[in-house]
C-alpha cells in the first residue's frame, strides 16, 4: 500500500472510532527501511491543529531530532480535501482548518535507528517506538488511540498494549501509554509463561547463541522478586522483547514491557549471560522506579523539550544498584559474582577523575548534555555509576543505624506508595521519606553525597557488612601512565589522559600517537610497552601530533597488574553477619 492509498475519506471510517486517534502503519518497502503512516484525528473546531513528532523518547535523556526521518507530509479534511499546512518548528506541522473537521495526516517514515531503540524496519521485522513513528496533537493527547499495522502476512506483532480486533491492531488509553508501549512485529520467537497469576511473554528477534530455556527459567525467578521491595505489582501482563542482532546494544524500560538489545553472540558465556539477565532485572525494576514513580521534573513528559531533574541518579543509578540484589536473592547470581560486579563498579568510579568535579545531582540535571570521551572522564560522571554507589552507601548506612531493620528498599517502597503517578517527588520528598523510615535527618548526608562530588570510604562501608576491598593475592606493582591507549598499526593512540596525572602534567593529551617510550618502540599494548620500566622512572615519550614528531618526559606512576576486589572477611562478627544478611538477603559466605 502506497501513500495515496492511505488517503481514505474519513466518511469511510465507522462513527464508533471517531472519538479515538487512529494510527495506521503500512510497511511495503521494508528493504529500504520505509513505512507509511496515516493518523486520523477527531473533529476539531480550532483554526489550526498542531501535529507533532517527539524530539526524544522516554528512557533516553537525549534529543534525537526524530523529525529528520519524515517526508511526504500531507493533510486532508473529513471529505478527503487537501488542507493547507506549514512547519512552525523542526518537529511541528501546523494544519489550517477553515471549518470544523476531522483531520487525516499522512507521511513517510525512514526507520533505520535500531541502536537508539526508537525505530527500525527491515525485511525481517519492525521495532516501533511510537515516539519515532506516530505524531500527536496536544488537543487529543489524552484521547484513546488505536494502532493498525499493515505488515507482511508471516509477521507476528507483540506489544504491552492490548489487542484490538485482530493480531496486528492494538489499543491504548492515550498517547502517553502508546509512547510507552513499543511494538515488535516480524519474524520472531515467542514464548508465554505465568507467575503468581500474572502473564509474561518473551519475544526474540534474531538468531544467536542464547539458550531460551535458561532465559525462561531465570525470568520466572526474577519476576517473583518484585515483592522483596514493593507491596504490589503495577501490571497484570509484562513483555520482554529481545533483539539478538549485530552492533546495537542496550535496553529501555517501558510501561509493562522492555526492549533489550545484545550482539547475537553475547549470550552463551556466563559473564555475557549475567550481563543479559542483569539488564532484564534493571528494566524490570524500572516498572516501578520511573514508570510508576518518578521525579517532578519528568512529570508530565514534554516530548519536544528536555525534562530536567536532579534525581536521575535515583531513577537510573538506584535501579542499577538494586538489580544485583534481585539476582542474588533469586539465586540467579552467586555471591562471588555479586562481589565481582560491585568491585567493577567501584573500580570504574575510582578510575574516573570526573567524580571529583561533578555531583550526582549535577550530572542528573546535565544528563541531556553530558558527553563521554576524554573530557567526560576527566570532568563528568554519570547517573548510573554515581547513583549506584550512592544507593549502596545509603543502604548500608540505613541498615547499620537500624541494626538491619531499615534499608534503602524501604525508601523505594514508600516512593511507590506515596508518590505513584500522576504524583511526582522532589529531593525534599526523598529526604522526608528517609526521616520517616529511619527517624534520622539525612539533610547533611544528602549535601555531602548527592549535592557535592561524592567521596566514599569503601573500606569503612564494606567492613560494616563483613567485606573488604583489597588487592588479590599475587598482585604485582607495575609502571603506569594513567592513560587509556589503543593500538593502531605500530603506534599507541591515547584516548584518555587522566586529569592531573603525570602524563597530563607533561602535556600529553587524547589523540597523541605514541611512537616510543625511553627509546623503545611501542609494543602491541600499553602494559607491554611499559614493561621495561617501574613506577618512579622518568622516561622520554616520543609521539606524533598534527603529523609532527614531538617528545616530552614523564615520571611514571605506580599501579598494580590487578585491580582491587571485594572479598568476604574470614571471620566476620555476629553484627557483620547480621547486616550482610539484611543487606543481601543471603547468609554471609564465611558465617560461623
Final residue belonging to a domain, choices 186, 221, 244: 186
446 and 492 fall within a common domain:
no
In three-state secondary structure terms, 134 is coil
CB 126 within 8 A of CB 147: no
302 is a domain residue = no
321 and 265 fall within a common domain:
no
126 and 178 fall within a common domain:
yes
293 is a domain residue = no
284 is a domain residue = no
pLDDT value at position 67?
A: 95
pLDDT per residue, tens digit, the chain (592 aa), is 344 344 443 333 333 344 699 999 999 999 999 999 999 999 999 999 999 999 999 999 999 999 999 999 999 999 999 999 999 999 999 999 999 999 999 999 999 999 899 999 999 999 999 999 999 999 999 999 999 999 999 999 999 999 998 999 999 999 999 999 999 999 999 999 999 999 999 999 999 999 999 999 999 999 999 999 999 999 999 999 999 999 889 999 999 999 999 999 999 999 999 999 999 999 999 999 999 999 999 999 999 999 999 999 999 999 999 999 999 999 999 999 999 999 999 999 999 999 999 999 999 999 999 888 999 999 999 999 999 999 999 999 999 999 999 999 999 999 999 999 999 999 999 999 999 999 999 999 999 999 999 999 999 999 999 999 999 999 999 999 999 999 998 999 999 999 999 999 999 999 999 999 999 999 999 999 999 999 999 999 999 999 999 999 999 999 999 999 999 999 999 999 999 999 999 999 999 7
Predicted structure pTM score: 0.92
306 is a domain residue = no
266 and 385 fall within a common domain:
no
DSSP 8-class letter at 57: B
400 and 446 fall within a common domain:
yes
3 is a domain residue = no
Alpha helices per DSSP H over 511-573 = 526-529
439 and 405 fall within a common domain:
yes
452 and 571 fall within a common domain:
yes
Between CA 441 and CA 436 the distance in angstroms is 9
142 and 258 fall within a common domain:
no
495 and 393 fall within a common domain:
no
Between CA 159 and CA 172 the distance in angstroms is 11
29 and 176 fall within a common domain:
yes
Alpha helices per DSSP H over 455-556 = 458-463, 502-505, 526-529
* CATH code for the domain in which residue 505 is found: 2.30.42.10
Residue with cell 605506580: 558
Burial 215-252 (b: 16+ CB within 10 A, else e): bbebbebbbebbeebbeebbbeebbbbbbbbeebbebb
Locate 326 and state its grid cell.
534481585
* CATH code for the domain in which residue 68 is found: 2.60.40.3650
48 and 136 fall within a common domain:
yes
232 is a domain residue = yes
* CATH code for the domain in which residue 344 is found: 1.10.390.10
pLDDT value at position 19?
A: 67
Between CA 407 and CA 13 the distance in angstroms is 55
163 is a domain residue = yes
449, containing H or E segment? helix 443-449
* CATH code for the domain in which residue 193 is found: 3.30.2010.30
DSSP 8-class letter at 228: G
6 is a domain residue = no
495 and 526 fall within a common domain:
yes
Range(s) of the domain holding residue 208: 188-272
**Number of domains present in the structure of the chain:** 4
Amino acid at each position: 500500500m502506497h501513500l495515496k492509498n492511505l488517503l481514505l475519506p474519513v466518511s469511510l471510517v465507522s462513527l464508533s472510532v471517531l472519538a479515538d486517534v487512529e494510527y495506521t502503519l503500512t510497511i511495503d518497502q521494508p528493504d529500504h527501511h520505509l513505512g507509511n503512516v496515516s493518523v486520523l484525528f477527531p473533529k476539531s473546531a480550532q483554526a489550526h491543529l498542531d501535529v507533532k513528532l517527539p524530539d526524544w523518547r522516554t528512557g533516553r535523556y537525549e534529543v534525537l531530532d526524530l523529525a529528520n526521518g519524515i517526508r511526504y507530509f500531507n493533510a486532508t479534511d473529513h471529505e478527503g480535501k487537501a488542507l493547507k499546512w506549514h512547519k512552525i518548528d523542526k518537529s511541528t506541522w501546523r494544519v489550517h482548518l477553515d471549518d470544523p473537521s476531522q483531520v487525516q495526516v499522512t507521511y513517510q517514515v525512514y526507520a533505520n535507528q535500531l541502536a537508539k531503540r526508537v525505530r527500525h524496519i527491515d525485511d525481517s521485522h519492525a521495532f516501533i517506538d511510537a515516539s519515532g513513528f506516530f505524531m500527536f496533537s496536544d488537543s487529543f493527547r489524552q484521547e484513546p488511540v488505536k494502532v493498525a499495522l499493515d505488515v507482511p502476512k508471516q509477521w507476528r506483532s507483540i506489544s504491552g498494549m492490548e489487542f484490538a480486533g485482530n493480531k496486528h491492531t492494538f489499543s491504548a488509553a492515550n498517547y502517553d501509554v502508546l509512547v510507552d508501549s513499543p511494538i515488535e512485529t516480524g519474524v520472531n520467537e515467542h514464548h508465554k509463561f505465568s507467575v503468581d497469576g500474572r502473564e509474561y511473554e518473551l519475544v526474540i528477534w534474531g538468531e544467536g547463541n542464547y539458550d531460551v530455556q535458561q532465559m525462561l527459567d531465570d525470568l520466572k525467578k526474577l519476576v517473583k522478586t518484585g515483592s522483596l521491595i514493593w507491596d504490589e505489582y503495577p501490571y497484570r501482563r509484562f513483555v520482554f522483547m529481545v533483539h539478538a542482532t549485530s552492533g546495537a546494544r542496550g535496553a529501555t524500560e517501558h510501561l509493562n514491557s522492555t526492549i533489550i538489545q545484545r550482539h547475537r553472540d553475547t549470550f552463551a558465556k556466563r559473564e555475557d549471560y549475567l550481563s543479559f539477565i542483569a539488564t532484564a532485572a534493571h528494566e524490570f525494576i524500572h516498572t516501578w522506579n520511573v514508570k510508576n514513580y518518578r521525579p517532578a521534573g519528568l512529570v508530565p513528559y514534554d516530548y519536544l523539550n528536555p525534562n530536567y531533574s536532579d534525581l536521575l541518579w535515583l531513577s537510573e543509578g538506584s535501579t542499577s544498584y538494586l538489580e544485583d540484589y534481585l539476582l542474588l536473592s533469586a539465586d540467579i547470581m552467586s555471591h562471588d559474582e555479586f562481589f565481582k560486579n560491585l568491585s567493577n563498579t567501584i573500580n570504574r568510579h575510582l578510575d574516573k577523575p570526573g567524580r571529583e568535579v561533578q555531583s550526582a545531582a549535577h550530572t542528573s540535571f546535565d544528563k541531556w548534555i553530558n558527553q563521554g570521551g576524554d573530557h567526560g572522564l576527566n570532568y563528568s560522571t554519570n547517573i548510573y555509576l554515581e547513583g549506584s554507589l550512592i544507593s549502596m552507601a545509603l543502604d548500608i548506612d540505613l541498615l547499620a543505624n537500624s541494626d538491619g531493620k531499615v534499608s534503602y528498599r524501604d525508601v523505594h517502597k514508600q516512593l511507590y506508595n506515596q508518590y505513584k503517578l500522576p504524583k511526582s517527588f522532589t529531593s525534599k520528598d526523598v529526604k522526608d521519606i528517609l526521616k520517616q523510615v529511619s527517624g534520622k535527618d539525612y539533610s547533611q548526608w544528602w549535601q555531602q553525597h548527592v549535592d557535592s562530588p561524592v567521596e566514599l570510604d569503601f573500606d569503612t562501608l564494606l567492613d560494616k557488612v563483613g567485606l573488604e576491598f583489597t588487592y588479590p593475592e599475587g598482585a604485582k606493582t607495575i609502571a603506569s601512565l594513567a592513560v587509556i591507549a589503543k593500538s593502531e598499526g605500530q603506534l599507541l593512540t591515547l584516548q584518555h589522559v587522566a586529569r592531573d596525572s603525570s602524563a597530563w602534567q607533561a602535556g600529553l593529551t587524547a589523540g597523541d600517537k605514541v611512537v616510543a617510550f625511553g627509546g623503545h618502540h611501542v609494543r602491541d599494548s600499553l602494559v607491554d610497552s611499559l614493561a621495561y620500566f617501574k613506577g618512579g622512572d622518568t622516561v622520554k615519550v616520543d609521539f606524533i601530533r598534527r603529523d609532527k614528531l614531538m617528545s616530552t618526559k614523564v615520571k611514571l606512576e605506580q599501579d598494580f597488574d590487578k585491580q582491587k576486589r571485594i572479598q568476604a572477611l574470614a571471620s566476620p562478627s555476629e553484627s557483620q553477619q547480621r547486616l550482610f544478611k539484611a543487606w543481601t538477603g543471603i547468609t554471609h559466605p564465611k558465617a560461623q
